Amino acid sequence: MKGIFAAIGTIAVVVMFGALLSIETIDEGERGVVLRNGAYSSIAEPGMNFITPLVDSVKSISIRTNSRLYQDEPFYSADRQAATMTVSVTYKLAADKIAQIYSEYGGEEGVLTRLVDRRVKKELKEVMGTFTAATAITERERLGVEVAKAMTENIAGPILIESVQIEDVNFSDAYEKSIEKRMLAENEVERLKQEKKQEAERNEITVAKAQADADAIRKKAQADADAIRLKGDADASAIAARGKALRDNPTVIDLVKVETWNGQLPATMVPGGALPFVNLSPN
């Protein structure tokens, strides 16, 4: 009896062990390639998958976003200056092409080696060959855009290039110093141009203000002259009218005297003299 229970226990252990061997767990962000006797069988999705123990095996392939660094890649600029560049490529394997990735490339590393590595080196050299050393330094952003465009357009296969980042561009120390001096000189020339332009603008403003002031003075002088002329004309007209009135009516003189008299008689009088405004002559 004890032997029977022992056998049953052994069988149970074997069954449980076999059950454990038949379960394969795939993480999220991965896909499993199920191989039966070494040949492709199916794709295992994330989660718990059942396989045939001792017959099936699973090779996991990541479909997460990842980066590959290409450090100190040599190249020549359009003006034949030697330099090195460090570039990082961000990529992701196509989740719907896992079978192709395994059967044709053997996995992620095969895709990178055969599709990306050689193309990166080639595209870097070709793009950099269109930039002079100076523009590669001063137009880093445009350089990055051109490199990324070349790689995304020319790397074909079960991989998506998400971005390309230029980490560093290094020319010789002597050349970089010469570029720095030239840039400083160009900046100084530009500064002098700006100062000259600003000075010219200030001069234009000064001339315009002087012209405006002169116009204002001229207009005021003209207005004053016109006012004086008009007043003179008015005074002359008034004098002419007054003279005519006196000629036509001599008694107006007496009327004016009366209008301007302050009401006081002279304190002293010449003997025999007439009182003011009193006409003693007969009518």
- Structure pTM? 0.54
- Output the tens digit of pLDDT for each of the chain's 283 residues: 555 545 555 554 444 444 445 788 888 889 988 998 888 888 888 888 878 888 888 898 999 999 999 999 888 888 888 889 999 999 999 999 999 999 999 999 999 999 999 888 898 889 988 998 888 888 888 998 999 899 888 888 999 999 999 888 888 777 767 776 777 777 778 888 888 888 888 888 888 888 888 888 888 888 877 788 787 777 777 777 767 766 776 666 666 666 666 666 666 655 665 555 555 455 5
Tally of residues, the chain: 283
Q: What's residue 69's pLDDT?
A: 94
Q: Which residues contact 115 (CB under 8 A, 6 or more apart)?
A: 105, 155, 156, 157, 159
Q: What's residue 186's pLDDT?
A: 76
Q: What's residue 230's pLDDT?
A: 80
Tokens 């079978």, located at residue: 99
- How far is 267 from 265, CA to CA, in rounded Å? 6
Q: What's residue 260's pLDDT?
A: 64
- How far is 60 from 120, CA to CA, in rounded Å? 26
Here the tokens at position 22 are: 């038949």
**Structural contact between residues 166 and 136, judged by C-beta atoms closer than 8 angstroms:** no
**Structural contact between residues 61 and 30, judged by C-beta atoms closer than 8 angstroms:** yes
